[in-house]
Amino acid sequence: MSQHDMNIGNQLFPATRADINNALLALASTSSGATAPSSAVANQIWYDTSANTLKIYNEAGSAWIDLCTLDQSSNKVQSITTVGLTLGATALTVTGSELNILAGASVTTAELNKLAGATATTAELNQISSITRGSIIYGNASGTARLAKGISGQVLTATATDIAWTTAPAPAVAAITSDGTVPSLNTNITAVEIRNLIGAGVSSSDTTYAIQDGELSENNFTNADHAKLDGIEAGATVDQTNDEIKAAVGAASDSNVFTDADHSKLDGIAASANNYSHPNHSGEVTSSADGATVIADNVVDEANLKVSNNPTNGYVLTAQSGNTGGLTWAAASGGGGGVSTTLGAVGTYGLMQNHSGTATITPGSTVAGSGLKYHNLNYSISGSTAASGTWRVMGHYLSSGVGSLNGITVCVRIS
């Protein structure tokens, strides 16, 4: 694949030879490439490798004309771009519109092979070319023939050798005599025609009019009359009033009449309601038929309470909203009796030295027991016993660590 501007410039021989070889290579490869040659001239051939299309530059020097498209995978010509197409020694000229008609047809290979081996005379082909709407192409003793369309009212008739359009024969109807009888009928008269004759009536001088006594009369019984009669029950009476219908239904056995009272009762029942009776319960929690439940007396014990910690004898329940269940077992404080004297128990006080690392702690603050140690008033001695739990500071810390009375105050364990 190569392209060249086809201009051999003035240069030394080696470069000239290379330039000529490149130009020849472009000619040999039809200037093939994914883009058009940059210096195209009129009637130059270019193979577009991006679309596998062979093109020629028009003589006006303004555009490329598509010639054909190749299928490189099967090594075949895929399509030819043309306005008209001429094939064979004898010219067969077909327009694009005519080819488009064939493009929409579904033809099998076997059907095309029949055409390929067929021989048709000029006269036979002319029959096809002259066909118009309503025409019929058929074969007769002389070969292929074309029958033009007939006129209104004609019928197609056939002989031993041909077909033709002829005027339809009128149906033969026997004359009706003055006494109203029909002496003879042929097969051309239909049942509809007979009913039309009956429905037309008779002259004033006639007293009777019948065909095959007892079968049809002037007062013709039509299909519509028969359908109407089929829809009426035997013994049916005229229309009944609402009150009559209601009385008849109510008087019937097992009629299950739906009364106004029944309707009012139904309106008062909620959708999906059922006839449910709430059961009674006994034991620690009881209920009555209305479904209300109550706790029996003397059944609430320690196991039924939701408390945040395990109980200790002598502890009391205290409200702690931040704990599980909002209740916590704690040692009783204040009021004298029941105050725990166990070191470090909840509710006990201690003289504590600040080892939390926080220098300034205000009264009322809470401190973890791990940051406190039991102490005395000798600031030069560091406490050695650490506390546990959570403590509330009852005094004021201004320092943390050993060697300062400012780091010792009273605290109470709260949990």
**pLDDT tens-digit readout, 351-361:** 888 888 888 88
Percent of the chain residues past pLDDT 90, beyond the cut = 15
Residue keyed to tokens 């359908």: 227
Distance in angstroms (rounded) separating the CA atoms of residues 58 and 73: 29
Distance in angstroms (rounded) separating the CA atoms of residues 26 and 6: 9
Mean predicted lDDT score pLDDT of the chain: 76
The mean pLDDT of 15-32, rounded to a whole number, is 90
**Range with lowest mean pLDDT among 69-78, 119-128, 262-271, 396-405:** 119-128
Whether the pLDDT of residue 338 is over 80: the answer is no
The mean pLDDT of 134-147, rounded to a whole number, is 77
Burial zone of 408 (CB within 10 Å; 0-12 exposed, 13-18 middle, 19+ buried): buried
- Residue-level pLDDT at 42: 93
Say which residue, 64 or 113, is predicted with more confidence.
64
The mean pLDDT of 239-259, rounded to a whole number, is 77
The mean pLDDT of 271-279, rounded to a whole number, is 80
- Residue-level pLDDT at 111: 59
Distance in angstroms (rounded) separating the CA atoms of residues 140 and 163: 9
Q: How many CA atoms lie within 13 A of 278 on its CB side?
A: 9
> Domain extents for the chain?
13-96, 136-167, 332-413
Smallest Cα–Cα separation from 341: which of 332, 351, 352?
332
Q: Which two tokens stand for residue 233?
A: 């029950």
Say which residue, 290 or 178, is predicted with more confidence.
290
Per-residue confidence band for 262, with pLDDT thresholds at 50, 70 and 90: confident
Per-residue confidence band for 75, with pLDDT thresholds at 50, 70 and 90: very high
Distance in angstroms (rounded) separating the CA atoms of residues 166 and 154: 5
Whether the pLDDT of residue 152 is over 60: the answer is yes
- Residue-level pLDDT at 89: 45
The mean pLDDT of 368-378, rounded to a whole number, is 84
